[in-house]
Amino acid sequence: MKHFTVDQHEQVQVWTIHNTPMNYMTAPMSQELLELVGRAESDSNTRAIILTGGVDGKFITHYSVDELAAMADDPATCAQTFPAASAGFHRMLDRIMLMPKAVIAAINGDCMGGGYELALSCDFRLAADGPYQIGLPEAVLGILPGGGGTQRLPRLIGRGRALEVLMFGNVYNPREAEQMGMVNRVLAPEKLMPFAMEWARTIASRPPRAVAAIKRAVYLGTDRDLESGLYIERMEMTQLMCSEDARTLMTAYNKIAARDPMVARSDFLKGIGVPPAKGN
């Protein structure tokens, strides 16, 4: 891997992004990221992933404008080739979104354009406090956020606020992004990775089939009509109810509740004393 380093911390992988000096997103980086996703999808030893920047002050600054401008140089060629390139980038981000593992973007510097669209495809966005920018400024360049930004951001923060971000091409400091709902948490820089690791380890301790089913139900169900969404929920719940982990964990809960229902309520449901999930 030229642009990513991978570190394993028990059931959590950390993917660190390197493309000095500015950490621009490029097509080769996208291909490497797709390869990492493919590996992680079938890796039962990895249950959560953290993505973070490896260049000081940069998560991913934005997609390479040099690369985009080269594609746009010949309008006729661009009209023929760009749709396929765009579809490939969309498929890569969809794979991240629907990967049956929790994915956390630990934003530690500039995160705009394609970089923020990558963060939008993750389940959670945690940001270090600091003097850097988060947003989708593509309108300033005469284009739109073509890596899913026009679709994922409105689903995250609502249509009105998303249009404000998109049409003005606004960028925000981390605290402003948190107020807009664009990130889940803003943390002191030294607390970003420990907090992200705590979240990742907690989710990694949950039954992996439940985590994957929740992701599918949310991402595939909430943008449909209610009846269709509830159908997806029923199908996912049926599969989970028949799983070994569900039977084991519910039996363990009932045993504790029979002895002391308040302990079951206060401790077990917080994850204390829960048998490890096998993934079955």
Sort residue 272 into left (φ over 0), alpha (ψ -120 to 50) or beta: beta
Give catalytic status of residue 117 as yes or no: yes
Record the tokens describing residue 75, joined without a space: 């309008």
The HSE-up count of residue 172 (CA atoms within 13 Å, CB side) is 21
What per-residue string of b and e applies to 127-146 under the rule 16 or more CB within 10 Å gives b? bbebebbbbbbbeeeeeebb
Q: How many CB atoms lie within 10 A of CB 274?
A: 18
The CB density around residue 110, as the number of other CB atoms within 10 Å, is: 24
Burial of residue 69 (number of CB atoms within 10 Å: 0-12, 13-18, 19+): exposed
Distance CA 233, CA 195 (A): 30
DSSP one-letter string for 95-123: HHHHSSSEEEEEE-SEEETHHHHHHHHSS
Environment class of residue 267 by beta-carbon count within 10 Å: exposed (0-12), middle (13-18) or buried (19+)?
middle
138 labelled catalytic: yes
Catalytic position from the list 41, 67, 117, 198: 117
Q: Which residues pair with 128 in a beta bridge?
A: 187
- Among the listed residues 32, 41, 138, 178, the single catalytic one is 138
List, by residue number, the catalytic residues: 117, 138
